[in-house]
Structure 1
Amino acid sequence: MPILDAVLLFLTGFLSGAVNAVAGGGTFITFGAMTLAGLPPIVANATSSVTQFPGYITSTLAYWHDIKHFWRGALLLSLISAFGALSGALILLGLDNPSFRALVPWLLLAATALFAAGPWLKPAPKPEHEAAVGSLVGSLAQFATAVYGGFFGAGMGVMMLATLGLTQSGDYHRLNALKNMLAVVIAAVAILVFVSGGVIAWLQAIIMIPGGALGGYAGVWIARRVPQNAVRGFVIAVGLFLAFYYFDKG
């Protein structure tokens, strides 16, 4: 790989980590960079899951104090998430690149719209008590979200936080902690499927992961100086650009 490409991938990973720390939506950047660099869309999507995974883990650890209070009850949703992610990842591997490429612009438009609506989809604060899990509606909603997460993933966090807010009890921080925990499960299962399917571009992933880690750390500094709406606007612009890029290529 040319040194310039490696530097650009590292910087993309850094930008993705910073954006995730400030407003979310880093998947748009990693997926876009790898597709524009020439990787097939299925490989770019699978590799993006790998590059985002460390961030899911650190976000979960940051909420460990909250998770300790409801992790036993959340095991059911974790199991449901694992089956959903497995289904979504297997559906992805069942497609060829031309078929997935035809879906990508529509998926990007939907994910961008979901991301743009994120501030209005956040659950309202509720009285603090243990987050209830396991309702039928909540289980079905989480399964559908996990299928989407295993298949594509962009916008999954916003979607999951919205559905958890509608179907589970608990204050915002507990719901966000539950979302982060389930995101780890979804990503881990999807990555195992993608690894077994041989669709991970490991060199690109290894270059981008440390950039993402540094970007996540720098995101705290950025968050204090750059308005969140400006970062969200940038992510939405990236999503729309990628969507129309794929429409044009199709």
Structure 2
Amino acid sequence: MSIFIIMLLLTSGFLSGAVNAIAGGGTFLTFGAMTIAGIAPISANATSSIVQFPGYVTSVIAYWPEIRAHWKGAVFLSVLSILGSTAGALLLLSLDNPSFRQLVPWLLLAATLLFAAGPWLRPRSSADHPTSNVASLIGQFFTSIYGGFFGAGMGIMMLAVLGLTAGGTYHHLNALKNLLAVVIAAVAIVVFVGGGVVAWPAALIMIPASAVGGYCGVYLARRVPQWLIRTMVIAVGLLLTVYYFVTS
């Protein structure tokens, strides 16, 4: 592995942790970096789940006051996230690389458009805390299936669904999103490791960087204009979409 590839993986790991803590979209960066490194699509997708896990954990730690304020609802959402992400991860393992590669550009395009539409999908609410209900439980179940299967755009999808169904301020929704992402990624990791599809050399390089990025991302979420981060993530998503449409 060349120095360029190592630095690329380190940088993408850090940035993925940061942008996931802010809103979501880190999979675009890790998936793209591993694609450049020559890792097969299914392995790149599976390894992204492992790489981003520490970043989600550290962002949850940084957001702990918000999470503690509504932990009861988070328990129900977490249970459904376990079921949904298990189904999504097993669905991914049922495919081969050529079949998954044919789906990748369409998945990336849909995720990029969803991410770009995020500000319009995230309604404002007068409630201080999210309130779980039947609609939020059902929405989170289907979101977690997508998260276990692919994951790109999962964060903004959760923010949109939770905002529409549960309400709450941005930071409370974002904290809950990061907690549920930990659950989804943890389940996917168990399935993917058991399926033997993880690219461990790349994962071991990117994991520490993702952890640092996740913690720093909460700081950035409170202080840096989010349009800067969003523009970068959307650009990466569009470039990856074009690349996979051309090469598929």
TM-score by length of 2: 0.90
Map of 1:116 onto structure 2: 116
**How many residue pairs were aligned?**
248
Name the stretch that deviates more: 189-198 or 171-180.
171-180
Q: Which amino acid is the alignment partner of residue 36 of structure 1?
A: I
Change beyond 3 A, Cα 1:133–1:222:
closer
* Runs of 4+ deviating beyond 6 Å: 220-226
Q: Deviations over 1:84-137 (max 9, x none)?
A: 0000000000000011000000000001001111111223032325x32241x2
Q: Deviations over 1:38-69 (max 9, x none)?
A: 11100000101111111111221222222223
Alpha-carbon distance in structure 2 between the residues aligned to 1:81 and 1:102: 27
Residue 10 of structure 1: CA displacement? 1.6
Residue 221 of structure 1: CA displacement? 8.2
SS of equivalent to 2:125: coil
Q: Which runs of 5+ in 1 are unaligned?
A: none
Q: Which amino acid is the alignment partner of residue 32 of structure 1?
A: G
Residue 27 of structure 1: CA displacement? 1.4
Residue 231 of structure 1: CA displacement? 2.8
Flag the structure with larger Rg. 1
Residue 147 of structure 1: CA displacement? 0.3
Alpha-carbon distance in structure 1 between the residues aligned to 2:22 and 2:178: 15
Change beyond 3 A, Cα 1:230–1:132:
closer
Map of 2:39 onto structure 1: 39
- Equivalent of 1:148 in 138, 146, 149: 146
Residue 174 of structure 1: CA displacement? 2.5
Aligned pairs for 1:106-185 (under 5 A) are: 106-128=106-128, 131-135=130-134, 137-185=135-183
Q: Deviations over 1:134-153 (max 9, x none)?
A: 41x22221111000000000
Alpha-carbon distance in structure 2 between the residues aligned to 1:234 and 1:170: 27
TM-score by length of 1: 0.90
Alpha-carbon distance in structure 1 between the residues aligned to 2:210 and 2:45: 16
Q: CA RMSD in A?
A: 2.3
Map of 1:232 onto structure 2: 230
Alpha-carbon distance in structure 2 between the residues aligned to 1:100 and 1:55: 26
Percent identity at matched positions? Answer: 65
Map of 2:66 onto structure 1: 66
Change beyond 3 A, Cα 1:221–1:191:
closer
Q: Which amino acid is the alignment partner of residue 178 of structure 1?
A: L
Residue 185 of structure 1: CA displacement? 0.8
Residue 71 of structure 1: CA displacement? 1.6
Change beyond 3 A, Cα 1:238–1:49:
same
CA contact (8 A) 2:58 2:215 kept: no
Change beyond 3 A, Cα 1:208–1:168:
same
SS of equivalent to 1:189: helix
Alpha-carbon distance in structure 1 between the residues aligned to 2:170 and 2:16: 24
Q: Which runs of 5+ in 2 are unaligned?
A: none
